[in-house]
A and B are shown apart, each in its own frame.
Chain A
Amino acid sequence: MIHKTLNISTSPHISTGTSTEDIMRNVVWALLPVAAFAVYSFGLSALMVIVTTTAACVLTEHFLCKFSKKESTVSDWSAAISGLLLGLTLPPNFPLWMAFFGGVIAIALGKFIFGGLGYNVFNPALVGRAVLQAAFPVAITTWFPAFSPARFSTFSVATFTFPFMEPATDGFTGATPLSAFKFDHVVGETTDLALGLISGSTGETCAALILLGGIYLVARKMMNWRIPVSIFTTVFVVSGILYLVDSQVYPSPLFMLFSGGLMLGAVFMATDMVASPITPLGVWVYGAIIGLLVVVIRIWGGLPEGVMYAILLANAISPHIDNLIRPRVYGTAKSVKQS
């Protein structure tokens, strides 16, 4: 006789077995090599920045959950990703108090107010960075040379700036390839760019490792490959056309692809699924918009870099993309748009 009380569940009774937490954890794995290279090339200061932003995001998430009497959602790893990515987009010599502030903003303003994981309409890490860039534009464009010999023994003087105080700028600051191009028309070597032998934000310098992380995630079906491909294609094609028109004025498409935050942004930040469109065609359009905005801002805009702005603007557009681009439903003549 079988006496057991049976479980009841609703169909389907099987599932892929991948959970949101798994996805998030794997994104962290994929980011670790990038972070490790950041520490290798910029030293202790970079390590401190990354640790600070991650801690700030995780703590903020925890306390906001507590404050709103919800179960803490720290364990889903998404706050850790936001923190890690925020750290990777900041300069290595960024004052820690500002980095901490950025982490708090990223989660509070970029995620919590919208209802937490899954509801944020903007990329939280980039909201944090955008606020930091607008609040402390000088500190966030003060760069630190890569591979300085003392990087593992000393910190940048700016790192431990007293909270609320202005960071001291040391004599070290060097230009990144993009600003060197924008203001002095010096084009960096593409191989140096790809291998990360340049200065820039902590995590943006080594394109090779970023791509590797992206390929890992795509292979595990944890990332939408269409987004980076669409961005890269658009940037390459548009800047390629400009380059053909006048190679004196416009930078080469390879330089465009490998400089600045484009790699990190396209692979890890534009792909944040929460704030991007959901349909395959929509995602292509989204990528194309980002690519186009990046080229426009970099070439004609005032700022040397525009990846962050491009992604945030595209985030704002993505509800419309989802609304307008809907796959044709099986058995209907045309997808019926919301009237």
Chain B
Amino acid sequence: MKEGNPAHTTEQASSFKMLRAMVGIGLICALLIVLTFQGTLPRIEKLKAEALEKAIFKVIPGMVKKKTYQLDQKNKLSEVSDDKKGGQLVYVGYDENGKLAGVAVAASGIGFADVISILYGYDLEKQALVGFYVLESKETPGLGDKIEKDPNFLANFGALDVMLNDDKNALKNAVKVVKQGTKKNPWEIDAITGATISSRAIGNILSTSTEQWIPLIIKNKDLFEAHKNEKAQQ
């Protein structure tokens, strides 16, 4: 079944053809990709920024302006640009008067189906969590995704108490999940029946994250406010 291949001598020609073809196609492809990338980049960045903004706005009501800080190795916070990767980020929000409106912290932990990533807002005045937003979760639709949608559950985060103890190095009462309908204290979260595991996961994430961050934020309160002043003056 071998086709007669009389063109043995054209081997060189064919390898030239191969090269030509690959380079040609490579060029076309590169051109197409780069054009698309350049063409869509501004809009994609805008959309992404908007999405982030929207998320932060959800957790810090009244925010109009934000700054991004990153935690470095030495437990120090410093301002960075938004799309910086690696290291833990917090977003500090300011209201229209330039006053510190709250701090948004991203956190994640293991849920029912996979890792859940959330963003929560902390109000320094009230010493409470005032907002909560799920950035990413693969929890069961219709069940575990109630952590994003269930109004009763979200109501937990209207003002979740995370007051510090007198030494200002730890929470007075750790965040805790209790069975649905048995919430008694402001630092407790009412679980969702049927999605106990997901709602407990949220509780766990919040309790570990707040243990770390709330004291840190309070410690850096001046930094956040100083920045504001600085900017405001300019």
Contact = CB atoms under 8 A, between A and B. Distances in A.
A138 B200 contact: no
Contact of A138 (B112, B143, B179, B191): B143
B158 interface: no
A61 B140 CA distance: 32
Interface string B153-169: 00000000000000000
Given A137-B143, A302-B112, A183 B193 contact: no
Contacts of B191: 183
Contacts of A302: 112, 197
Given A137-B143, A137-B194, A184 B179 contact: yes
Interface string B190-203: 01011011001000
A179 B200 CA distance: 13
B132 to A, nearest CB: 21
Given A183-B179, A184-B179, A302-B112, A141 B200 contact: no
Interface string B113-147: 00000000000000000000000000010010000
B197 A138 contact: no
Interface string B170-205: 000000000100000000000101101100100000
Given A183-B179, A183-B200, A184-B179, A141 B194 contact: yes
B196 A138 contact: no
Interface in B48-97: none
Contacts of B143: 137-138
A143 to B, nearest CB: 11
B196 A183 contact: yes
Contacts of A137: 140, 143, 194
Interface string A171-185: 001010001000110
Nearest to A302: B197
A303 B196 CA distance: 9
A138 B196 CA distance: 11
A170 to B, nearest CB: 13
Interface in A274-316: 302-303
A179 B194 CA distance: 11
Interface centre among A138, A175, A179 (most CB of B within 10 A): A138
Nearest to A179: B196
Interface centre among A137, A173, A184 (most CB of B within 10 A): A137
A246 to B, nearest CB: 19
A175 B112 CA distance: 20
A175 B180 CA distance: 12
Contacts of B194: 137-138, 141
Contacts of B197: 302-303
Interface string A120-163: 00000000000000000110010000000000000000000000
A268 B11 CA distance: 73
A138 B140 CA distance: 12
A303 B194 CA distance: 11
A172 to B, nearest CB: 13
B229 to A, nearest CB: 48
A309 to B, nearest CB: 14
Nearest to A139: B194
Interface centre among B112, B140, B193, B200 (most CB of A within 10 A): B193
Contacts of B200: 183
Interface centre among A173, A183, A184, A303 (most CB of B within 10 A): A183
Contacts of A175: 179
A186 to B, nearest CB: 11
Nearest to B200: A183
Contacts of A179: 196
B143 to A, nearest CB: 6
A138 to B, nearest CB: 4
Contacts of B179: 175, 183-184
Q: 8 closest Cβ contacts across the A-B interface?
A: A138-B194, A302-B197, A302-B112, A137-B143, A183-B196, A137-B194, A141-B194, A184-B179
18 contacts: A137-B140, A137-B143, A137-B194, A138-B143, A138-B193, A138-B194, A141-B194, A173-B193, A175-B179, A179-B196, A183-B179, A183-B191, A183-B196, A183-B200, A184-B179, A302-B112, A302-B197, A303-B197
Given A138-B194, A179-B196, A302-B197, 15 more contacts: A137-B140, A137-B143, A137-B194, A138-B143, A138-B193, A141-B194, A173-B193, A175-B179, A183-B179, A183-B191, A183-B196, A183-B200, A184-B179, A302-B112, A303-B197
